[in-house]
Each structure stands twice: as structure tokens, then as C-alpha cells.
Amino acid sequence: MTVVIPPLGEQRAIAEVLGGLDDKIESNRRANRLCTEIAESAFQAALWDGGVPWETAWPEQALGEVLDVIETGGRPRGGVAGITSGFPSIGAESIVEVGHFDFGKTKFVPVAYFDTMTRGHVEDETSCCTRTVVDRARSSRTFRWLGRVSRSQDALSTSTVYRLRVAPPFSQDFLYFWLRSSRLTEEMRRRGTGVAIPGLNSTNVKALPVIIPDRTRLSTFKPSPSRL
């Protein structure tokens, strides 16, 4: 094999640029994780009443009773191998953590298929997607979220991703951080079914508990699409 090697000066210039970009990416991820931790702490503080743990301090309902939308998307029969254009097909494999989407794993569904689907459209800034599979090796990542940024970024979720929308007076912020809580992580793990890759069917998702704080506490979590 013949390999073309740039002059040493060009190699160093390329490495300097790429190294700077790598540093910036890692800096953004650290800042993202820190912001998430701060937001989670604020969420817990807003629900703490000074007595029993906040996760069990309030009346409860089944999650299905407060959801307006719970649905998954899909992919064409035969899969999406070889399809290089159309609308992104959002699978849990691409959603690493909050604000970290692996574009290297993005797959696509044809425009015609996208237009025939009446569910699973990740097209609203307040959409909330969760990973259906309870991953034993990475249990802290059982909840995956994706928000739409612009109209040009319409996408379709796969059958492994739930799109959830909560009804008022709850907000998507409240739903998001509740599903990230340690209690719900354990509930998802416990309710997961299947042997090879445990997962949550829609019945189990609807049966997940959700706390019902008083209106004063709930007013802290106002709907805020621009931040989602």
C-alpha cells in the first residue's frame, strides 16, 4: 500500500486544529454534565419538604394517567441499511446522554415512509423520548431524551424509543427530571421484561409511578420549550 504523508509542518498544523476541536468538544460535554447535575439538584430541592425523601413525600398516580402522548416510531420493513438520505431515524444507540448525540450512528428513513407514519415524529420542541430498553450495564442511562431544535431537524423515532408528552399542570421539565431520578431508574430496571435485553412495554411505562406535588411546587416547573 502506498500512503501519502503530508510534510511535517502540515501534519502538525492539522493535529493542532483537530486537537483544539477535540478539547472544545470535551469541554462542552463537561459543561453539559455539570449543568445537568445543577438542574437535577434544583429539581430535588424544589420538591423536598424537609421531612421524608422527596421521591416518596407526595401522593402518587400512574404515569399513564398524566400523559397526553405515549408512542414509538418505526423503520421500514427490511431495515434502513444503505439509505443515506431522507429523515433521521432516531434510535437509542445514537443518544449517549443529555445534549450528546452520536451523529456517526445516524440512520435515515425514506421521505415516503416518514410521510406515511402517523406516530413517532420527533418534531416538537417539547417532545420527550425515552429508551425502552433497560440496559443492565448502563442502568443510569435508561432514560434518553431528545429535543427538536428546528423544523429542518424533523426525525422519526424507532420502535425502541418512546415519545412522551405530559399533560398540564405538569411540564416536560418535570417529566424529564422525574424519569431521571434514582427511584424511576430502579423502577424501570425492576419492571423490565425479557432475557437478553430487558425492556419496557407501553403497559409497564404507563404503570410507572409519578409523584403529584402541590400546585405551588409544580408551578416551579413551567413549560419552557426553548430550553428543551
**pLDDT the model gives residue 161:** 82
Does a structural domain hold residue 132? yes
Show the domain range for 137.
Answer: 54-227
Does a structural domain hold residue 8? no
Q: What is the DSSP letter of 64?
A: G
Nearest to 128 by CA among 83, 173, 96, 182: 173
The total of structural domains in the chain comes to 1
| pLDDT tens for each residue of 187-216 | 888 887 766 667 788 898 899 999 999 988
**pLDDT the model gives residue 44:** 92
Neighbours of 108 (CB within 10 A): 19
Measured between alpha carbons, how far is 180 from 188 in angstroms, rounded to an integer?
10
Does a structural domain hold residue 139? yes
Does a structural domain hold residue 103? yes
**pLDDT the model gives residue 157:** 85
**pLDDT the model gives residue 182:** 86
Measured between alpha carbons, how far is 75 from 79 in angstroms, rounded to an integer?
6
Q: Pick out the chain residues at pLDDT < 50.
A: 133-144, 148-151, 224-228
**Quick check: 120 and 72 in contact, CB under 8 A?**
yes
Measured between alpha carbons, how far is 46 from 177 in angstroms, rounded to an integer?
12
Does a structural domain hold residue 15? no
Does a structural domain hold residue 7? no
Does a structural domain hold residue 35? no
**pLDDT the model gives residue 130:** 57
Task: Give the bridge partners for 157, in sequence order.
Answer: 90
Q: What's 96's domain CATH number?
A: 3.90.220.20
**pLDDT the model gives residue 55:** 92
Does a structural domain hold residue 46? no
| Packing angle of the helix pair 172-179, 8-47 (nearest 10 deg) | 100
As given in the structure block, the three cell numbers for residue 111 are 421521505
